[in-house]
Amino acid sequence: AAVDALVEEWKGQGRRARRLSVSHAFHSALMEPMLAEFGVITAELEYQRPQLAVVSNVTGAVIEQFDAEYWVRHVRQAVRFADSVAYMADAGVSRFLELGPDGVLSGMGQQCVDALFVPALRRDRDEPQSLLTAIGRLWESGIDLDWTALYAGRDGQTVDLPTYPFQHDHYWLRLATTGDVTSAGITAADHPLLAAVVALPKSGEVVLTGRISTGTVPWLRDHTVLGSVLFPGTGFVELAIRAGDEVGHGHLEELTLQAPLVIADDDAVVLRVVVGAESGGRRSVTIYSQSGDGWIGHATGLLTQVRATALADTQWPPAGARAIAVDDLYPNAAEQGFAYGPAFRGLRAAWRRGTDVFAEVSLPEDAEAGGYGLHPALLDAALHAIGLGELFPDDGKARLPFAWNGVTLHAAGATHLRVHLSPAGGDAIALTATDPSGVPVVVIDELAFRAVSAGQLETRPAEHLYRLDWTAGPASDAEWDGTLVHVDGLDVDGLTGSPDAAVLTAPDSGSPAADVTAVLAAAQHWLADHRFASSRLVVVTGTDPGQAAIAGLVRSAENESPGRFLIVAADAPVPDGLLRAALAAGEPEVAVRDGALLVPRLVRAVPAADSVPVFGADSVVLVTGGTGGL
């Protein structure tokens, strides 16, 4: 309980805190009862002088000789990791190789000194690939490696490289993205991603249309995520604001991304941005792409008239901020699946002050910012500074922006930005940016991120149909070790403290409408109580239609407030062990059937063999329209 209270205290101060899954409270007073016996055991060992220089985490300096007393002190005393790293840096060490199962120490070391930290292995990644990547980064930094040892028994051989740099001139003709659309009775959009604007009669709706590809918009190739060329979320923001400007509603009140837009090398994608009629001072905006004969909705939101935003005139670099090295940002991002090309590698410098991150970003000199409100690559680069702070958990997951709130563009055509990023609760940040002279460019009140996997970005033929299937959850050794409590009935307000998760069993009174209303009230109280801002409400439902209505309600709440709810649809009471496994799975919804944990997945719908009609010689067929009438 004392440890949990300390964790909550640190979190309340905006700091990262996590309870460690260890067997004993090492390096604390709780180890003192075993020190005498431990000293007797260690005294029986024979110690030799180290053959290599060893910097001790006990002293923070080089140790010449180990003995029994040293190891007793090692168990009890504080770990002087920062002192040890600083000692080596002062001695001229500029590159560190971490030998261990993950890169935790490398991340800590980067916060201590300005040096290169390379982990040999990374959690949940291919070991040979991780090791070879580490070797490559060390060689790139100037380390002289023994390549014969690496390639021993592999028949490797050296090859001569050209003695001159490769030429990078581009001679392909650039395709025109727009023609003379006015001859067709429509208005030119004058935007690099959009060609035309059409106002629909009577309805008040406006449609903007365009056609893009990696040939006509070359910078798209530089945004590769988990192996797929992905239209950036900042591009959808640019499209929505351009559409809002067309109708005098240039403030993007909200924009939620619904599906990724993956662009294949040989594909040209048709875009439609549909702005709805004004209602209550707002206009809806929806962004589509064409897929075969159908349309895929990628983003939907609301537009309002531009509002005034006050920005503080802050000193730059910001007072009290500490400079951060940015050299390793893009190599580290590539390891997580973000293979940014030159157009998106815009981060130039960064600073930290507490949990806030400040950065300078710019477009490459050959990038064309004209025609854009704010070039998507520049705004995307502004978000890269998130990786230099502690705004998100260090869990190795790739995250993409998916919900934008309160976006105001104050100036168009920027090529350089000064950016301020700050936490906005959960997996969300707030952003303000000015140009180098301090003039406001863009303000984002809140931007929420969501973890994605490579499977979510795979392109599939549009003609295939899919259905929902419940499959066994992925095998994982991860354990959820947070605090789990049970709600007494529906009394969420009666909970004490700030548990990591609370379990609410859905009521089953026989009146589905009354049950849904009761759960709605509990969910509203849960979201309104600041104690549970970082907690998750686990709603356990049954499997009958009335319980499905409750699950539908909670599903909507989870879509609006990602990470705050978990649905567990069960055919029997669920023990705490399975609930913890469900929380560890990281899914918004799971099912428990016969004691097994299942997760929802879309699978290709294949018609049953007996559903395909077979016509024989004696079959009767009704033909309509074949002869002109019946």
From 270, 304, 338, give the residue that closes a domain. Answer: 304
Q: Domain with 299 in it: what CATH number? A: 3.10.129.110
Instruction: With respect to residue 156, please indicate whether it lies within any of the assigned structural domains.
Output: no
| 18-41 pLDDT, tens digit each | 777 788 889 999 999 999 999 999
| 129-170 pLDDT, tens digit each | 899 999 999 999 999 999 888 888 887 777 887 777 777 676
State the CB neighbour count (10 A cutoff) for residue 56: 18
| 67-125 pLDDT, tens digit each | 999 999 999 999 999 999 999 999 999 999 999 988 889 888 888 898 999 999 987 77
pLDDT computed for residue 182 by the predictor: 65
Instruction: With respect to residue 296, please indicate whether it lies within any of the assigned structural domains.
Output: yes
State the CB neighbour count (10 A cutoff) for residue 174: 9
Q: Do 370 and 471 lie in a common domain?
A: no
**Closest by CA position to 386, among listed 413, 406, 415, 359:** 359
Instruction: With respect to residue 179, please indicate whether it lies within any of the assigned structural domains.
Output: no
Q: Do 546 and 436 lie in a common domain?
A: no
Instruction: With respect to residue 507, please indicate whether it lies within any of the assigned structural domains.
Output: yes
Q: What residues contact residue 396 under an 8 Å CB cut-off, 6+ apart?
A: 122, 123, 124, 125, 336
List the Cα angle 72/73/79 in 5-degree steps. Answer: 130
pLDDT along the chain (630 residues), means of 10: 82 72 86 94 93 93 93 94 95 94 86 91 84 92 89 81 72 59 76 92 92 90 88 96 94 93 84 94 94 82 80 74 89 84 94 92 90 95 87 70 92 94 88 91 92 59 68 73 92 91 94 95 93 93 93 94 94 92 91 91 66 67 61
Q: Do 569 and 474 lie in a common domain?
A: yes
The torsion defined by the Cα of 382, 385, 390 and 392, in degrees rounded to 10, comes to: 50
The span from the CA of 103 to the CA of 108, in Å, is 9
Q: Do 340 and 443 lie in a common domain?
A: yes
The span from the CA of 346 to the CA of 336, in Å, is 18
Q: Is the pTM of this model over 0.75?
A: no
Q: Domain with 71 in it: what CATH number? A: 3.40.366.10
pLDDT computed for residue 458 by the predictor: 55
Q: Do 471 and 590 lie in a common domain?
A: yes
Instruction: With respect to residue 23, please indicate whether it lies within any of the assigned structural domains.
Output: yes
Q: Do 132 and 260 lie in a common domain?
A: no
Q: Are 383 and 347 in contact (CB under 8 A)?
A: no
Among 102, 222, 356, 380, which one carries the catalytic annotation?
Answer: 380
- DSSP label at 279? B
Q: What secondary structure does DSSP assign to 599-615, as a single string?
A: EEEEEE----GGGS---
pLDDT computed for residue 462 by the predictor: 45
Instruction: With respect to residue 392, please indicate whether it lies within any of the assigned structural domains.
Output: yes
3-state secondary structure (DSSP) of residue 163: coil
Quote the mean pLDDT of the chain. Answer: 86
pLDDT computed for residue 549 by the predictor: 95
From 274, 304, 334, give the residue that closes a domain. Answer: 304
- Would you state the structure tokens that stand for residue 338, as one six-digit string? 């973000």
Q: Do 477 and 446 lie in a common domain?
A: no
Domain that holds residue 16: 2-145
Q: What residues contact residue 189 under an 8 Å CB cut-off, 6+ apart?
A: 178, 195, 196, 197, 208, 209, 210, 242, 246
Instruction: With respect to residue 163, please indicate whether it lies within any of the assigned structural domains.
Output: no
Q: Domain with 488 in it: what CATH number? A: 3.40.50.11460
Instruction: With respect to residue 456, please indicate whether it lies within any of the assigned structural domains.
Output: no
Q: Do 294 and 369 lie in a common domain?
A: no
223 annotated active-site: yes
Q: Do 553 and 475 lie in a common domain?
A: yes
380 annotated active-site: yes
| 200-244 pLDDT, tens digit each | 988 889 999 999 998 889 999 999 888 889 999 999 999 999 999
pLDDT computed for residue 390 by the predictor: 76
From 258, 277, 304, give the residue that closes a domain. Answer: 304
Q: Do 590 and 486 lie in a common domain?
A: yes
The span from the CA of 221 to the CA of 236, in Å, is 16
Q: Do 437 and 387 lie in a common domain?
A: yes
The torsion defined by the Cα of 582, 583, 587 and 590, in degrees rounded to 10, comes to: 30
Q: Do 207 and 114 lie in a common domain?
A: no
Among 223, 251, 384, 420, which one carries the catalytic annotation?
Answer: 223
Q: For the chain, what is the domain count?
A: 4
Amino acid at 557: A
